[in-house]
Amino acid sequence: MLTVLDHLPDQLLDLEAHQLEDRLGGPTLIHLAGRRDPPLFVSVLLHGNEVTGWQAVQQLLRRYTRRELPRSLSLFIGNVRAARYGQRRLDGQPDYNRIWVPGSTPEHAMAEAVLRQMRQRGVFASVDIHNNTGTNPHYACVNYLDPSTLHLATLFGRTVLYFRRPEGVQSMAFGRFCPAVTLECGKPDQPHGTQHACEFLEACLHLSALPQRPVLSQDIDLFHSVAIVKIPDEVSFGFGEEAGDPHLRFPPDLDLLNFRELPPHTRIGWTNNGFHLEVQDEQGQDVADRFFYAQDGEIRTRVPIMPGMLTLNSRIIRQDCLCYLMERYSLAG
């Protein structure tokens, strides 16, 4: 199900994300030659509703229609079927950012084919571009803490999130053989998100090497994702007073808590019968009681925490999660 090309199809850069399936037919890996090797690897549209990556690539490559790229570029365009419908993924599809591990689906085999090709070619660095559906700052995610990876991340900004779960993400697979980051560029279709991602890619193409020296603590705000918060399928939920009478109800502006350090006993929602949230740490252990408690129909934080990727999009919550919980992380530790 993977198409591999050594050129950009005519007028591809004129197409919106929802039009790409008609032109490409499916996931496509495009190798573009530049002055330097090995190539920069860029993946976009692993989630079909997160269009900033494609828009940034369009903006970038239009600059080079008549001149040589400073470095070779390998571009992976992912879930164009979901992009047609503006969805993260379609029902019946796996999440394209969970397939970068061995598995039995055609999508897993496709991801393995991409990995195999790129290992053979060698990769200067890997960049996977995403959006959030909730209100979040721009930040980079890493799965490894080596100096080159952290320097790559801080090229995007000071805020960096380190995580080891969920498994199967693109950056974790590529990070085993090259510096790899995931860029979270705010909500889709925001010009400043597209511009930020485009300028980052431009800077990467012009790098001759990534520094090997350690990143200084004053140059990075590093956080560690320590738990993932999900809502079980059988639990109903809603936002605001118009939510009816679900098991869980959250404030209508819940996503404004993203990347805010919340003190103990902060109320994050209400429950009509029990706790209902599922919270797992990096080892997959249930740690709900470590972070939250329910009292008098309210759900409150037990310890200081910082949530990230909170969203008000019910479909995204069902497909992925309610949020991640983060703590500040010391490189010295």
**Residue 274 scores a pLDDT above 90:** no
Q: Given this model, what pLDDT does residue 243 score?
A: 62
CATH 3.40.630.10 in the chain: give the residue spans: 3-219
Which among 158, 114, 110, 116 is positioned nearest to 137, based on CA atoms?
Answer: 158
Tens digits of per-residue pLDDT, 29-42? 999 999 999 999 99
Q: Given this model, what pLDDT does residue 333 score?
A: 47
Tens digits of per-residue pLDDT, 96-136? 999 999 999 999 999 999 999 999 999 999 999 999 999 99
Once rounded to an integer, what is the mean pLDDT over residues 16-27?
99
Once rounded to an integer, what is the mean pLDDT over residues 11-27?
99
Domain 3-219: homologous superfamily in CATH? Zn peptidases (3.40.630.10)
What is the reported pTM? 0.94
Task: Report the 10 Å Cβ neighbour count for 156.
Answer: 24
Tens digits of per-residue pLDDT, 72-104? 999 999 999 999 999 999 999 999 999 999 999
Q: Mean of the per-residue pLDDT values for the chain? A: 96
Q: Given this model, what pLDDT does residue 21 score?
A: 99
8 Å CB contact between 1 and 106: yes
Q: How confident is the model at residue 158 (pLDDT cuts 50, 70, 90)?
A: very high
**Residue 242 scores a pLDDT above 90:** no
For 145, list phi and psi in degrees, rounded to 5. -115, 25
The percentage of residues in the chain with a pLDDT greater than 70, rounded to a whole number, is 99
Cα 300 to chain centroid, rounded: 27
Residues 6+ apart with CB under 8 A from 237: 231, 243, 246, 247, 248, 249, 250, 314, 317
**Residue 147 scores a pLDDT above 50:** yes
**Residue 281 scores a pLDDT above 90:** yes
Kindly report whether the peptide bond that precedes residue 166 is cis, defined as omega within 30 degrees of 0: yes
